[in-house]
A and B are shown apart, each in its own frame.
Chain A
Amino acid sequence: MKRFFYILAVVSALAIIGTWVALGSNTGWTKTKVATVQVDPVTEIEFTEYREGFVPGIDFLGAGLVGSVVIFGVGFLLSKLTTKKTKL
């Protein structure tokens, strides 16, 4: 059982890191809109256009890794409990 939790913790940590890297390694907060800068050809004014999008930030990475550590911890506690029961 503990092995299942350990593997789950590692897989979820890798998935979180992989998602964060694949979607741009954003070191700011998670973005729910993607900004694109455009230039008006006549006035040469730079302006920003927004579209809906998800760019995970360090809050996403941190929360995901904390979740993985919690899963790992559950596995560790279960293994301790199992060891105690076996000894009894």
Chain B
Amino acid sequence: MTKRILTTLSAVAALASAHAADTTFDFKDPKGVNNVVFKLDAPLESINGTANGVSGTITFDPENPGAAKGKIVVQTSSLTVTNSVMQEHLQGPEWLNAAKNPEITFEITKISDVEKDGAKTEVDVTGNFTLNGITKEIKADAKVTYLPGKLGDRTGGKLQGDLLVIRSEFEIKRSDFGIKPGEYADKVSETIELHLSIAGSAPKK
């Protein structure tokens, strides 16, 4: 009987410890550092810009990166280009319709091909990408860097905890997301290159 109780207790403890290793990182960044760079290179015009309205959470276990899950959200209204007229068009009803589709999201559904090298991990991420109100499954390479205890350096010691940095580069087709398919191909590239650079924080309680 005692042996059974001890076995049950150790199993519960093991489960609890495994669960405790999962840390939720919050990607809302008041410093405005988290960003997505977008690049469109059409024959007649090149459009480059950034978006820094990033939020969302990812649950990550440095010992088991393949189990990561979560969702990253980018505010459509945070997309910025260096020409204010172009920015109005970009967010207006003709193109991304930021009023109707205020968020661009990516929700992780699967992590594969995990290659761990110290604090850095390279993975293939599959997930549901939503843009212009249309959701498609996409797959992208991502580099994940786990920085234990580095939150204090970023907050001037006000908060202690860990950081998780994610970098990813991938391409999408605007026609897949119903953004004027087949139109203006000479000025607005069909392929949109996206570079994601974000850091999430997990304060220690």
- Which of B32-40, B109-117, B127-135, B170-178 is near enough to bind chain A? B32-40
Q: Which 6 A-B pairs have the closest CB atoms?
A: A31-B82, A43-B199, A32-B84, A45-B197, A40-B33, A42-B154
For B84, the chain A residues whose CB sits under 8 A away are: 32-33
Within residues 25 to 70 of chain A, which ones have a CB less than 8 A from any CB in chain B?
28-35, 40, 42-50, 55
The docked-state distance in angstroms from the alpha carbon of A32 to that of B35 is: 21
> Which of the listed residues A32, A34, A44, A45 has the most CB atoms from chain B within 10 Å of its own CB?
A45
Taking CB atoms, residues of chain A closer than 8 Å to B150 are: 42
Contacts of B37 in A (CB 8 A): 48
Distance (whole angstroms) from the CB of B39 to the closest CB of chain A = 12
Q: Assess the B165–A45 pair: CB atoms within 8 A.
A: yes
- Write out the residue numbers on chain A whose beta carbons fall within 8 Å of the beta carbon of B154: 40, 42-43
Q: How far is the CB of B196 from chain A (nearest CB, A)?
A: 10
B76 is an interface residue with CB less than 8 A from chain A: no
Within 8 A of A (CB), among B9-42: 31-35, 37
Interface size on B, residues (CB 8 A): 27
Which of the four size classes fits the interface of chain A?
10 to 19
B window 81-97: CB within 8 A of A: 81-86
Asked if B7 CB lies within 8 Å of chain A CBs, one says no
B82: which of A42, A44, A50 is its contact (CB, 8 Å)? A50
Return A27 CB to nearest CB of chain B, in Å: 11
**B50 CB within 8 Å of chain A:** yes
User: Chain B contacts of A32 at CB under 8 A?
Assistant: 82-85
Q: Assess the A50–B199 pair: CB atoms within 8 A.
A: no
Contact B199 A47, beta carbon cutoff 8 Å: no
Question: Contact at B35–A48, with CB atoms within 8 Å?
Answer: yes
CB A26 to nearest CB in B, in angstroms, measures 10
Residue of B nearest to A30 (CB): B83
Smallest CB gap from B154: residue in A: A42
Q: Across the interface, do A33 and B80 meet the contact criterion of CB distance under 8 Å?
A: yes
Q: Which of B45, B50, B83 lies in contact with A31, CB distance below 8 A?
A: B83
Q: A35-B50, A49-B32 are in contact. List 14 more A-B contacts (CB 8 A).
A: A31-B82, A32-B82, A32-B85, A33-B81, A33-B83, A34-B82, A40-B31, A40-B154, A40-B199, A42-B150, A42-B199, A45-B198, A45-B199, A47-B52
